[in-house]
Amino acid sequence: MTQTFYNHRGLRITDQWVSVDGRRYPLAATSGFHTTTDPVSRVGIGTLLAGGAVLFMAVALSPVMALPTAIGLAVVGGAITFVGAVVTRFSPRLRHLWLGNAVVLSTTDSTELGKAARALRRAREHRYLMAA
């Protein structure tokens, strides 16, 4: 009898196989699994760097420019840096669960990825214990 460890959104993990949208991968034939996360948004990083550069200019040039201009430049740099921080923080990063060299799950929900990874770990442990 097959024991199911995870069954959600087209991904089903049992003690015998992993099924993704109708494709089956035998659990015994897989060498392992791992998770990856896509990099941080380039727009967010670029905005953070631009804001930091404007802030640096405001501080570096403040002795030779008028006080209202330096304050205005610092406010603009701070605003750009804030926007970059918000974009970096709130842009969703895609997370992947790999089984061998096949991606079996891609999601922005780290909780869902964690549940699937734990289920896969339990299925592999269960299969190992049953074989012993």
Q: Tally the domains of the chain.
A: 2
Tens-digit pLDDT profile for residues 6-44: 999 889 999 888 998 888 988 877 778 889 999 988 898
pTM: 0.69
Model confidence pLDDT, tens digit, residues 92-116:
899 999 988 888 899 999 899 999 9
**Is the domain of 73 the same as that of 85?**
yes
Mark whether 53 and 81 lie in a shared domain.
Answer: yes
Residue span of the structural domain in which 60 resides: 42-90
Select from 23, 37, 22 the least CA-distant residue to 117. 37
* Pair 69, 81 in one domain: yes
CA distance 15 to 72: 63
Round to whole Å and give the CA distance between 130 and 24. 21
The rounded distance, in Å, linking the Cα atoms of 25 and 17 is 5
